[in-house]
Amino acid sequence: MPSEESLLRGQYYAKPQNVFWRIVGELIGASRDVAYAERIEMLKSHGISLWDVMESCERRGSLDSAIEESSIRPNKLAEFYAKHPGISHVFFNGTKAEAAYRHYVMPRLKQSCAHLLYERLPSTSPANASISYPEKLQAWRKVLLDP
């Protein structure tokens, strides 16, 4: 789920301490210096979709660890994949996104999604301080690889 700040601003990764846009800036030029709408278009032009696993949930604050499991409602990713059959890879921004996807989304996927390849990347959240920025950047380079 987006942080409280991201939800307020209606922008993914709005919290300045989150290094997502810094990484994406280095990879495709979509840094925080670029207007948000243009950053989203830059992602699309590089074949990258950006969407939450969770449509909604309850939590206090912005930490994934504060999410109440019983409140999780997944996004309709099966429908999204049906509308975008060219998707081949799903990258997760951290452990919670992957765990929620595997628990709430995968059981609802049809056989037509069996080709999807999954990989968890290190979270870009400031809460993930155990991995250095250069290590995160190196891991995130995978999103640019051809299938």
pLDDT tens-place string over residues 66-75: 677 787 788 8
Amino acid at 22: R
CATH code assigned at 31:
3.40.470.10
Supply the range of the domain harboring residue 16: 4-144
| CA distance linking residue 44 with residue 109, whole number of Å | 23
Beta-sheet pairing, 117-121 with 89-93? parallel
Closest CA to 125 of 42, 61, 63, 32: 63
Catalytic residues: 18
Q: Is 118 helix (H, G, I), strand (E, B) or coil?
A: strand
Closest CA to 14 of 141, 124, 134: 124
**pLDDT category, 147, cuts 50, 70, 90?**
very low
Structural domains counted in the chain = 1
Per-residue pLDDT reduced to its tens digit, 80-113: 999 999 999 999 998 988 999 999 899 989 888 9
